[in-house]
Every structure is written in C-alpha cells, then in structure tokens.
Amino acid sequence: MRDDAGDVPELNRDATASAVRPPNLSAGPSIESGVPTAISPVPLAMNSSNIPGTSVDASSAETRNPTTTSSAENRVPPAPASVVGGLTTVSGGKSPADFTMAVKPPTVLPSTSQSPEVPRGAGGSATNNSATPPVATEVAVVSPKDEPASAAGTASAALLAKPFAVNGGSQSFATLEAACAEIRDQGIVELHYDGRRPEPERPIRLIGKRITIQAARGRRPVLWFAPKDGVADPLQSRMITVSGGSLTISNVALELQLRSLPGVDLWSLFRLERPQHLRLENAYVTVSNPSHTAAAVIECASPPPAFVNMGAMKDGQPIVASEILVEHSVIRGDSVGIRLRDAAPYNCDFRQSFFALGEWLLHSELSPDVMSPMMDVSLSLTDNTCLLGQGLLKSVGDDNLSGRLPKTRVSARSTVFSCGTGAGLIEQQFPQTTTDFRQSLQWSGDRNH
C-alpha cells in the first residue's frame, strides 16, 4: 500500500465491497454515553493547546479540566516508527491506547482579533467543576461617577435579555432565530453572553443570506439545541439549514443533545442545500447521542423544488462546488461527520482540527436520483487528528446504479488516523453494474500516521 501522490491505496475487494485498512494504531475511540474519548497522540505539526481532548460523563456531557501542566510535560515522546506503504506506523514502546489525554477547551476564549483557540464546550470556568453547567451570564458595566448608577445596570439587563446583536449593535434580539430573520445580507450576529442560555435555541433556516455568527469580544457563548418532541416537518430535525448564501461561525461552541424520537430519519446540526460555503473557525461542536439514533454533524442535501436551480447553470448543474471549511476546531460526538446526499460537487477542507466521531468522517450515499457526473467530492486534511469509530470514507451505491461514478479525491497531509476495530480506512460498496469503481477514488498522502 502506497501513500504517494496520485496513487490509490490497494483495495481488498469482492464484487460489491472494498476496504482500505487503516494503519495499525489501535482500536477506534471508545464511545461512552454518546461521546468518543480521545486516545491518540496529536500530530507533531499541531499545537496541543489548539486541539484539546474531551472527557464527558453520561449525565450532562460537561467538560472537565485535568490538572494543568506545562506543554513540555504534556508532549508525548515519539515512539520508534516504521514506514508501511507510505503510512508510518508506531511500533515499540507504549501502544497508542496508553497515551490517553483528556480533551478540554481552552481556559479563555480570545476575541476574534486575537490568535485562534477553541472555545470552551460547556461554558464553564477553569475553577468551576460543578456537575451543573452555568447558564448565560452578563457582567454589569461600572458606570462613571458622573453617570447615574442605574444606567449601566439597565443596559446590562437589556443586553442579557436580548444578547444577539446585529447590524453593528443597532438591534438586539432575544433568540438566534429572531436575529437571523432580521439580519441583512453580509451581516454579523454577535453573541453577548457566556455559557448556555436557559432555553435551547429553535431550528433556524437561512435562505440566500451570507451571515457570520461570532462571539462578542471576551465572550464564550454556547449555542445549544435539544429537541424534545417528535417533528412533523423533516427540516425541524435539522438545527441550522443553509440554502444558498453562506454561513461562518467563529469562536462559538455548538451542542446538539439528542434522544430517541419517532418519525425522524436523520438528525443533524447543519443541513446544507448548495451554499457557497460553511466555515467553522475556532468552533467546538458536540453531538450528544446516547440513544445512538441516526445523526450527522453536517448533512449535504438537495434543496427543495422551489430552490433546486439555485446557484446552477441552465442545465441544472452547479457553477462552483460548495465549500466546507473546518479550521482550529473540535468536532466530536456519536454521529457521522458529513453525510452527502446531493448530486452536487463539494470541497471539504479540514485544517489543524480534532475529530472524535463514533462513525465515518464522510459518508456518501449514491442513488440514480441524486447522482450526476458533476457530483465530485474533494476531501483535504492537513495537520488533523481523526479518532473514528468506523473509518475515514464510506461510499455506498444503490442497487439501481449504473455507468460512471462520481470522483472522490482525498488528500491527506500530516494527519493521524485511528479507526474502529475491523473497519477499513476507506470502504466502497457498489453494484457490479457500475463502471470500474476503483477509478472513482483518487488518493494523495504524505506523512500520515
């Protein structure tokens, strides 16, 4: 098996399935109460302060802080390594399972003008290890002596009641849903609170708007969603739907807390309907899924009939690929990373991030209804750690598929992969009626483990 540019790793196939075995590291991440536990060293190119580990209990998925030591003390010494097919495997010394690190968000979330770090997932302070997560708080501003003392308190109370500021702070709203409904194109929603608000946010839908959601300076907000009842509209099981336009989320933690509810085919934090891009920068994403219901962090789906030609040429094919960018972020949970169900091209670019997922990082579903020659997918990974309950990529084809399959291009650099026991790094399952599916995968890699 080679990991050189342009070569596809050897596949061990039968008539209907193929799998590329992962490097011999360890079994995949253990899943406890719906959240994987990190058990792998971080790539050398990564800063351990940017990519923390996680430790979650069964009751509240709260993050706890381990005893703080210097970065030099926390650094895992490299073990003797051997090169097998272009992938470096660790041998000798301790096994990767011995290098257990507790994932924690940084103590302080910087402002958007500072160097990037990942925000705290549970919204707690460095000294507060209470099992009950804090609710959103607002620090009262001390007014000058020449101003009435009640003025600052009144302004603080108003900001706490309506912490979602838009249009440069000229308007404030009580919920994210209301703020996104009123915001202008290319607007910014600033979150002026810390931790979780008392009530979860309602699902929102963004149509044709280019929006940024970011923490206010010095704030560490958590946007959390917790569906309680069954849903009649399938879109209500998708927390943030982006149809066209674009969405950037910066310095914000997001949580999706799931329980088993009837009548839902899939839960997802994001649903993308051919947007220009989704960008997660310094984000901390958690999917708590103790019932192991079908879930994804991101779902890529066809838009409704009224918007099916959005961003498309006359023949219906997209002009440019949609982009999914994840940078300096933590993505964790008992779910799929990206579930692709749309006949449109996507470019996925993951940089210096930590993924701890109970299933596949990318799961592509192909059927005659959603397949086209333009449905090419690009997956680029640079300086990441991927702890996966299954594997990196799975492509599944409907029994009625025939003809040419879309291309999937994978480029991996300086990335650590750990897959589940018995799972392949890459798995393809297509009927024999398709054109040689081995040609549908292109692999390029360097310095991966």
pLDDT band (50, 70, 90) for residue 106: very low
Rounded-to-integer distance, Cα 138 and Cα 37, Å: 32
Look at residue 371 in the predicted model and tell me its pLDDT.
55
Average pLDDT, the chain: 72
Higher pLDDT, 202 or 168: 202
- Domain count within the chain: 1
* Average pLDDT of the segment spanning 8-21: 44
Rounded-to-integer distance, Cα 6 and Cα 68, Å: 43
Look at residue 368 in the predicted model and tell me its pLDDT.
55
State the virtual CA torsion across 62, 66, 68, 69 in degrees, nearest 10. Answer: -140
Higher pLDDT, 245 or 370: 245
* Average pLDDT of the segment spanning 371-385: 84
Q: Residue 384: is its pLDDT beyond 60?
A: yes
Q: What residues make up the domain containing 101?
A: 12-64+84-121+203-446
Look at residue 51 in the predicted model and tell me its pLDDT.
39
| Residue pointed to by tokens 């979602």 | 164
pLDDT band (50, 70, 90) for residue 85: very low
Q: Residue 359: is its pLDDT beyond 80?
A: yes
Burial of 25 (0-12, 13-18, 19+ CB in 10 A): buried
Pairing type for strands 354-357 and 210-215 reads unpaired
CB 25 within 8 A of CB 422: no
Farthest-apart Cα atoms in the chain, separation: 82
* Average pLDDT of the segment spanning 136-158: 47
Look at residue 156 in the predicted model and tell me its pLDDT.
60
Higher pLDDT, 274 or 67: 274
The answer to the question of residue 284 being in a domain is yes
Look at residue 307 in the predicted model and tell me its pLDDT.
61
The answer to the question of residue 214 being in a domain is yes
pLDDT band (50, 70, 90) for residue 366: confident
Please give the single-letter amino acid code of residue 103: V
Higher pLDDT, 30 or 322: 322
The answer to the question of residue 351 being in a domain is yes
Q: Which of 71, 92, 197 is nearest to 134 (CA)?
A: 197
Q: Residue 323: is its pLDDT beyond 50?
A: yes
The answer to the question of residue 324 being in a domain is yes
Rounded-to-integer distance, Cα 381 and Cα 359, Å: 17
| Residue pointed to by tokens 């994001």 | 270
CB 239 within 8 A of CB 256: yes
- Residues 107-121: tens digit of each pLDDT: 444 444 444 444 444
Rounded-to-integer distance, Cα 3 and Cα 281, Å: 29
How much of the chain is in helix, strand and coil states, percent to nearest 5?
10, 35, 55
The answer to the question of residue 93 being in a domain is yes
pLDDT band (50, 70, 90) for residue 337: very high
- Residues 253-292: tens digit of each pLDDT: 999 999 877 778 899 999 999 999 999 999 999 999 998 9
pLDDT band (50, 70, 90) for residue 27: very low
Q: Which two tokens stand for residue 46?
A: 């990564």
Q: Residue 70: is its pLDDT beyond 60?
A: no
The answer to the question of residue 191 being in a domain is no
- Residues 426-438: tens digit of each pLDDT: 988 866 655 666 7
Look at residue 15 in the predicted model and tell me its pLDDT.
39
The answer to the question of residue 164 being in a domain is no
Q: Which two tokens stand for residue 117?
A: 């770090």
* pTM, rounded to two decimals: 0.66
Q: Which of 196, 195, 172 is nearest to 182 (CA)?
A: 172
The answer to the question of residue 73 being in a domain is no
Q: Which of 304, 390, 306 is nearest to 342 (CA)?
A: 304
Q: How many Cα atoms sit within 13 Å of 414 on the Cβ side?
A: 12
Question: Among the listed ranges 132-141, 166-175, 418-427, which one has the minimum average pLDDT value?
Answer: 132-141
Q: Residue 332: is its pLDDT beyond 80?
A: yes
| Residue pointed to by tokens 């927390």 | 239
Percent of the chain scoring above 90 in pLDDT: 41
